[in-house]
Structure 1
């Protein structure tokens, strides 16, 4: 991706902040996205009518199941617009080709009910990854938290609420003298015209939710990639490397003109700074005359709507709810009760599983740190102790190998933490290692690790080689940190 063309600020954001940014983008792009959704969905919906035998319940289920087919072109449109290339009508075939390719099939089959659909769809459609590479990419992205699942859950709830609001609005806003929609038939009876209205209302609702769902999922995906690949640092280094434009003659003259205006305004006569007292008195007199006029306080005759026939002998007793409404209320209450009980049981089971897993992890933890992950320490020579690290780092610096020196020092710091009992999984990124260390250690116990991580990321991803003096300073801090922790030497 051309991250230098992106239209939003690249920086580490929390997942919920990424959701909010996605919703903001969807508000600005709503009408193009909604129109694109209609272009893709309406032909499919019309084709499904005869295929489902004109049965509204089966037709609604089929249209609902094919939602990823309508959301994929929206993702392609958003990905281009976010990077500065807003698609036009000419680009419509290309958008449909991206969205309706063979890589959309998993989202219509076994991934259709996945709660992270909007979050993982860019991996297949935009990156074009499939098979083992796609599974590894999705597994890595999914380690960022459960926010994509919450996005899907909340979106479904919004659909239900808006759909119910539309039905109730049709029910309450139609005058009682006219035929009203039967709410029971609109929900339960598929052989009535009311059910068709209900089905069309639900299709309209999830067409309006789709732009927000797609943009929010796409921003969660970009936020996770920014976190993993340090896009913000890469973009900052690119901008820092660009030559700064020189000021033009007009730009250099702007401060001089501004100072001239400021001093000129200060030397202006002060007669305009105070209003005349006579003008103020006349204004007060005019206000008093207006307040004393007959327009204030006069009586007016107001007409209001009132019933033509009013029962003078007392109000009629309140009507009871129809039996079918009472039956629906009882059924909804019973469903909610059992649903809440099921959620409570699931929550207790998950809590018990997590507590048991943590307890087993504590009870099975060996007294010694165990073998180190090979992927983290593969650059440390076999048989070398931590005491030999300073000499090796200085030797690398003497040979001009700043990358080898800094990498050796970074991995030695991680080895020191593992010897202190900190578990670091194989394949963990620099930020993940730092986050694990911050959870276990205080700020004073981290020593030079935050600086090491920052310098190493700048060298590994942005190819910014630090000065030898910086590495020497980090080495000195590392030696003091290790001595203060009083760690025994362990051969690697």
Structure 2
């Protein structure tokens, strides 16, 4: 990877700006990304749903396609990693490269790393750098650590967007239902789901999930790739390196003519060799009478320091200005890298603390602490025991049901089949009373109800069909001219229904009152 070939502007960015950089890169190369992405995922969708249709389990296809998302995300990563250097691969090249691109790391991303929250950031580290196992772990810590939280938020946001699109596709179906039929359509859909949806409904749901994943997946990978580029630029100072390279190129371009002119003018400016040999060196002593050079006079200080005032205007020992400039440079947050660390420390270290309490009081405190500890454990055990014993009362709430308190069970009247005579007896009231006193309350009330029905039908001169229900008999009883007879018949029907369907029998007084009123109203002979 050569930073000078990057087609993006490298500068210090926050993690959120880096995600937007990845999205912009995806929009610029949308065709090169979505063509292989759609072809690969559409083929996998067709094969998975065809197999699931044959098995009759369409949910298996949806689960399989969701689990294989990291394998498809390699396509987007491959295209963007080449396009950022100015060479976007074609559709065929991108699909053929998947057989070898990151194949060694694919099992890991389909097993224990499948549910990793920072997959969009860490997958480029593993697939693009191809380091050894130990070095890859270090690179994941260096590049992924500072941006791990932002990558996790990215995963959560994209998952919610996919869910919103999926629900939107389902809700779009009901937009075509007229408003007056919407309630019935919703009830019918709920009934179909409860009874077990057909296979085509599962395939349609898989199609909606595929549409949502196809729309959001490339943006998820592109945003993670932008995070990866930003982290590499920060850790390896790509922006500084590129700035120095551009400065070097600019200086070379401008200094080349000047260097050529100096090279051409040096022979003209150089002194003659004889004059150079005869001229004494600066600071050298004049030659003596015998032609030998006198020793040089001592120069205070170092010879190198003698040139510093001429170059810098100050001595090497006077470095106050240099230190001030360095201090101002380190005040820059991009260079200094200072941070504030806050930690709690005791005012008095434990080694300096004196013993304020006597030994017997410390021993008593330790015993009290031990008793309190065992008391808390005992309290926890009692609490768990209470929870276990009361589980039948509160456990139905967690299962979605409500456990209603039991009512006192009413005595079972008679659950056997009723054997009533074909014709009514001559003394109806005496027969009903005898059955009641024998403990056969339900047959007694059944005979009372049957006799009341026939008496009511005879009074209104109506013919009831065989198997007429209580509701039908009540509608016929509205033809009675006597209001008291109509009220009495309704009461008889209600008492019979309570006894027959709810097992609720009237008391002795209520039964006697009802039997006496019926005998008087319908004129049963005693």
Question: TM-score, normalised on structure 2?
Answer: 0.45
Considering only CA atoms, is the larger Rg found in Structure 1 or Structure 2?
Answer: 2
